[in-house]
Amino acid sequence: MPDQTKLPLVYVRGYAGDTSGINSAVQDPFYGFNEGSTHVRVGPGDKPAFHQFESPLLRLHLDEGYRILVQGGQEAYLEAAAEIPPDSIWIHRFYDASASTWTTKPREFRLEDAAQDLLRLVRRLKEKSGAPRVHLVAHSMGGLVCRCLLQKVLPDLGEDPADHVDKFFTYGTPHGGIAFDVGGGLVERLMDATGVAGADVFAPRRMYEYLTPQALREGDGGPPKGWDPREIPEGTFPAHRVFCLVGTDPADYDVAHGLSSRAVGVRSDGLVQIDNAQVPGAHRAFVHRSHSGRYGLVNSEEGYQNLRRFLFGDQRVQAELVGLRLARERGTRWQAEVRLSVRGLPSVMHERLAAHWCPVQLPEPHGNGTAAEPVPLTTTFLNSKAPRPPQTPTLRYALHLRILSLRERGGILSFADHLEQTADFDDILVVDVGPAQTGLGVWAVWNSDLPGAIWEHRPTGTPCGDEAPGGDVWLAHVPLPKTAAPILGEEAGIRLTVTPWS
């Protein structure tokens, strides 16, 4: 019996380029989402150890029981089938009509047409599966096709996007367009003006056209001053139902595509700048992967694990740094580095490091001396009903927190007494989530307080107290070790918030 709580899942691929690129894309029955990767790491005895990632499609089939239904042709199968299982995977093959493989007059690709075709596919999947909504999973430009559906196509029809789409996950989508560190904006203006190979879909004017409902458009000109293409307007699709996977490795993209990261800058996945790969208000994770290719975002264990938990988890866990009163020294700026690891996984789920050009910038205290605003560190999702081995009855997360200082003299970084990559504070918060006598139990301890190896630790005693009893939200503060007080203040700590996630 299929799981009636699961929804059809639609994959939407990214930009293929000109006609030759489109022809190559349509030859793949799964538009590339079936490709896996092999990662090599150092094993015992300095011998190579291979980690094989099967591909997101195959892993969803193996881990979640999803079915991949093609049987000679996805369109023909959907047309003939009286009904389909809700736990099924579908590919939005929007490039097929623009391929010249079978016709001398292919349809010119237009992003709005791809969004309209996506709506037809979604309607058909809902009708034949009986599911109330679908999940959308998109890579690169595919996320913009989905956003055109959510922000323009459905609102222009007077329909609520949340009635059709449950959750929306993006891999390296240029939500803010594709920008370059060279040319002072000239390249972006040329993309908008010429639209070579359809690349204008990443430039401001076209983005404004396909992301803005007709009723809200201001004439036929470009976007109004201050318009941010990354934002999903209120009243369309809720941003908290969106997850953005952000890549931080431009080097691998250079190797695969010959595109120098110097064009878009090192703070990128090789094609999309880190700041442009995010939707304000959405959940996000940073992973050291490139935009695409065999070792890209889609072909990664990190990407899959974030996707699986976001789609099928039942609890959301947020960690924030609170109560900050940073040591005030003239010219000193503070940064945090964060890594999130999950027991049983061979990869890091989220990492923001200075070496990857994406540390967390810590805010200065308020002028009246009160603590700075909470600093989000990470959000992850867990499935409390997932089977676990008897020896590991809890879900365990490790949050590695490092605090680094940078000092300036006359507005220039000073290295006179600087120790590069050396943290002023460095510790790991080990969090266990599992059943307790009163329901959900959360145990948290700093690694500096643990004797022996972390894997030997077994949570004991009373779990952290719930500071918001009586509701669905579970809340607790974990004080930082005393060694952090001279830097972050006496009241600094980690605030853990667990809320239901459906």
Statement: the pTM of the whole predicted model exceeds 0.85 = yes
Q: Is 475 helix (H, G, I), strand (E, B) or coil?
A: strand
Fold category of 9-312 in CATH = Rossmann fold (3.40.50)
Q: In sequence order, what are the residues at sequence separation of 6 or more whose Cβ sits closer than 8 angstroms to the Cβ of residue 169? A: 135, 136, 137, 138, 242, 243, 245, 307, 310, 311
CA distances, 360 to each of 50, 236, 286 (Å): 32, 30, 11
Q: In sequence order, what are the residues at sequence separation of 6 or more whose Cβ sits closer than 8 angstroms to the Cβ of residue 137? A: 9, 10, 11, 12, 56, 169, 170, 171, 307
Helix (H) or strand (E) holding 384: none
Q: Tell me phi and psi for residue 266, to 5 degrees.
A: -75, -20
Q: What is the DSSP letter of 107?
A: P
Instruction: For the chain, 502 residues long, give each residue's pLDDT as a single digit of tens.
Output: 345 579 999 999 999 989 999 999 999 999 999 999 988 888 889 998 888 999 999 999 999 999 999 988 999 999 999 999 999 999 999 999 999 987 778 999 999 999 999 999 999 999 999 999 999 999 999 999 999 999 999 999 999 999 999 999 999 999 999 988 755 554 445 555 444 556 889 999 999 999 999 888 877 778 999 999 999 998 899 999 999 999 999 987 766 565 556 788 889 999 999 999 999 999 999 999 999 988 899 999 999 999 999 999 999 999 999 999 887 776 788 999 999 999 988 899 999 999 999 999 998 777 666 778 899 999 999 887 777 777 778 889 999 999 998 887 766 777 777 777 789 999 999 999 887 776 678 899 999 999 999 999 999 888 998 898 878 899 999 999 999 999 999 999 999 999 999 7
Give span(s): CATH 3.40.50.1820, the chain: 9-312
Q: Is 65 left (phi over 0), alpha (psi -120 to 50) or beta?
A: left
